[in-house]
Amino acid sequence: MVAEIDNKIVGHILFFPIKIISQENEYETLSLAPMSVLPNYQKMGIGSKLIEYGIKAAKKAGYGSIIVVGHPDYYPRFGFAPASTFGIKLPFEVPDNAFMALELLPNSLKGKQGTVKYPKEYNDDD
């Protein structure tokens, strides 16, 4: 999704489906990445609007959760909590509070612990 002011794109946000895999389960969630707002338009609430609109769209599309790797001071205001709370891991190292998850429905991440499997485009060697 993009944010426009006077027909100019000033921000964008992408959500893509991704799987959380464990020995017992395979569960599809949404990954929020990347997002950006043009420097001259930052701190005006555009990023927040993109996230809030994205959360509504994700719910409407039937998703139960969203994960994000990002600024630990930014995403919690939208309800994101450390993904470790839900037993969800990444296949690479990041500080615990920089990998977050949001339940779009109560307890939607209950029992969904596992490791995120990124699409092959994320591999350095491809």
Ligand X SMILES: CC(C)(COP(=O)(O)OP(=O)(O)OC[C@H]1O[C@@H](n2cnc3c(N)ncnc32)[C@H](O)[C@@H]1OP(=O)(O)O)[C@@H](O)C(=O)NCCC(=O)NCCS
State which residue, 34 or 111, has the beta carbon closest to ligand X.
34
**Secondary structure percentages of the chain, helix, strand, coil, to 5:** 25, 40, 35
Q: How far is the CB of 102 from ligand X (least distance, A)?
A: 14
Are 29 and 18 in contact by the 8 Å Cβ rule? The answer is yes
97 binds ligand X (CB under 6 A): no
Q: How far is 82 from 102, CA to CA, in rounded Å?
A: 9
Query: On the CB side of 40, how many CA atoms lie within 13 Å of its CA?
Result: 4
The burial class, CB within 10 Å (0-12 / 13-18 / 19+), for 34 is: exposed
State which residue, 36 or 84, has the beta carbon closest to ligand X.
36
**Interacting positions 27-66 with ligand X (CB under 6 A):** 34-37, 42-48
Q: How far is the CB of 98 from ligand X (least distance, A)?
A: 9
The correct pick among 56, 59, 71, 110 for binding ligand X (CB under 6 A) is 71
Binding site for ligand X (CB under 6 A): 34-37, 42-48, 70-71, 73-74
